[in-house]
Structure 1
Amino acid sequence: MAETLAGSETLGAAPVTEAAHVIATENEAIAVATELAARLAVGAAQRDSERRLPHEEIEWFSRSGLWGITVPKAYGGAGVSNVTLTEVVKIIAAADPSLGQLPQNHFGLVDVIALTGTEEQKRELFGEVIAGKRFGNGFSEKGTKHVLDLKTRVRRDGDHYVVDGTKFYSTGALFAHYVPVLGLDEDRRGWLAYIPRGTPGLSVVDDWSGFGQRTTASGTVTLENVRVPARLVLPAHRVSEQPTLNGPLSQIIQAAIDAGIARAAIEDTLAFVRSRSRPWVDSGVERASDDPLTIREVGNLHIQLHAAEALLERAARVLDELAAKGETTEDDVARASVAVGEAKVLTTQVALLAGEKLFELAGTQSTLDVHNLDRHWRNARTHTLHDPVRWKYHLVGNYYLNGVKPARHAWN
């Protein structure tokens, strides 16, 4: 399957035609997410099975107002806490983790605007978000030495910047109204160009073939002599050169997605064991749900999930506490990165464990294609590869043992 929006508004998702609802409070954000999740869950397994892109569903998502909840109150948004943001992401990801992942970069990009934008840029871009416009992403590249080894270039040309390069893992770009692309200038400083949909030279292709997160369209973005007005280009290098919470924010959203995947897998395990599974012949019980060894494993799954969710909420509270200070220090960012890293370890572990244990506890029938229950493990295994969890252990241990602060970037 390949779709492109190269200079055309007719392919990919149509622009939002209705104004998005404006969410005003933390409680409203949770309520809207809960109601929307029930709607998104319908057909999620079939969308995954058919690799059918959620064009209609993402419009529901935009119009709900949830994509605008982190816009600061001064610019018309709810300015929700990180505790609320992670809960919203977790709720949506449990319903459909591909849809849960789509706004992950969007929220990080809203934060970049808040951190580095001029007043004019904030008014324009925050206004677009409140209206229901979506940011995709053009960050990562494949075939390079590492994730920060970027080949995409950005150069100033009068009142414009010119962008050339090729991106991959471009989650959300196919559905976006703006495709923010990260490139380096001649001094190898990073700049983010928020490129409007339909800009000549911008091409987005759904060539994502990953076995998990199938409907994220995390494929290729190509840029050939793309001219972007200077007012839509922001100095991304400042979010890492200066101590900001942008990296921990990006990571905590990833952890929330994994927690949602885990919860969905566990809920499907319980439903299957209660309604379809047979007890083991030696168990001496009539129902699979009365098997003492199954009960033990279900108990362990819930303990692991609740531990992960507790660390996730703790990390979100750390971010909220530090954000409330106004100006963050290097020590603040290190503390935030470590707190999020601890949560990320447990959310990764429980997402993978839940996806695997589902089949052990539910039995052979649960592997049939008609149920598509393997999507939980496939989604967990794919999504948790965004950054290696083994390095989270190193990050946490090096901080506590040697006082080494984590490097500042989007993966910490």
Structure 2
Amino acid sequence: MWKWDEIGEVLRDGTGRAREGGQREGRGKVGESDRERSASEERQEGSTEAQGREGAVGDYGKERGEGRAKGKDRGNLQGNKEPSKERGKARRGVLDSEGGKAGMSAQSACVQPAAGGLRRGNGEREKGWGGGVSRRQGEKLSADVEAANVYKAEFAEMVATKKLERSQVFNMDESGLVYKSTPKRTFVAADQAQAAGGKKQLERVTIVTCSNADGSFMLPLILIGKSKNPRCLRNVNKDELLVWYRSQTNAWINKEIFEEWFTDVFVPKIESFLNSKNLPKTAVVLVDNCRSHRCVKINDIEVNFFPPNVTSLIQPMDQGIIQTVKLHYEINLVNAIVEAQNENMTLIEFLKTIDVHKVIFWIADAWKKVKPTTMQKCWKNLWPKKNQRCVDSNGRGLFYYR
């Protein structure tokens, strides 16, 4: 009897294993059906997205076609004999619908077709990713030409009314100076692929320049640092420095510094200078509309403001004077680096030794090296010389200086 019991147990085990195998097979089929269903859903979503993209492309093409048709109709309404050229202008955003005048948008103004690379501002080609895009730097793209022309006429009227000479009109402007910044280009040996570089030195001070129109009187520079009493100036009489030193949290000029400079430095020195020239004590200092500048007037010496967005066009200090000062400073810095390397000192070690006291000597020397002829040339946009015609941006004559 025991054999029959063993046979029954074996049969029961086989039946259980068969049942478990069937369940696993069923679960496998269910998983396969789920995967098939998800794959079909993904295919449907992909086809829907493709249709959406095709629709978007079709809408974009339709909008471009409507834009071309509008540009063509506009050109025909204006009576142009060359509609194909006008369509090209409409595509570049040159056509002005209000007055029919040709103007350039900020984006199209930066484009100069040049097969083979970029073009610099002087027309020189430059290789790059853009093909026909020229790099523009500075503030001239945001400059207000009309406001500059209006101010030129107002300035000429002020000069004639007050009977000012060139030695009585001053311009003052400020700029940041990264005083440890080395030149961006250098020479390397023939066996070197490139020069070794390092981290950028970001220590900054502010320099303020001021001079009259004929370059006959240049006031001492204002140098603004972050520390009120730098360690390098603790045993130095600040009144005997080559610059007028002041401090501010961000090393920038503020209203208090400007008013103190105008009252304690500018007015006394200008009055003494005018006395030596036997000129009336009347003077004007031109400044931009920075909020740190204040409208101050002492006796007949006053502050006059430029309109907004015209400094890149007519402010004399922005026409090359400050840039010349920085170039002379860079030469002084490089000469000091060469002398230090001749004494077996590395560049990094030397840069760590540069402090505000050394910067004062180098920047004061750079300011002295600016020639009066440089000052005079930088005033020509605002105040041309006698018998020289002043013109606006379109070449139209505004007035003559007599």
Q: Tell me if both proteins adopt one fold, taking TM over 0.5 as the criterion.
A: no
Q: TM-score, normalised by structure 1?
A: 0.24
Instruction: Name which structure has the greater RCO, CA cutoff 8 Å, separation 6+.
Output: 1
| Greater percentage in helix | 1
Q: TM-score, normalised by structure 2?
A: 0.24
Instruction: Give the number of the structure whose alpha-carbon radius of gyration is greater.
Output: 2
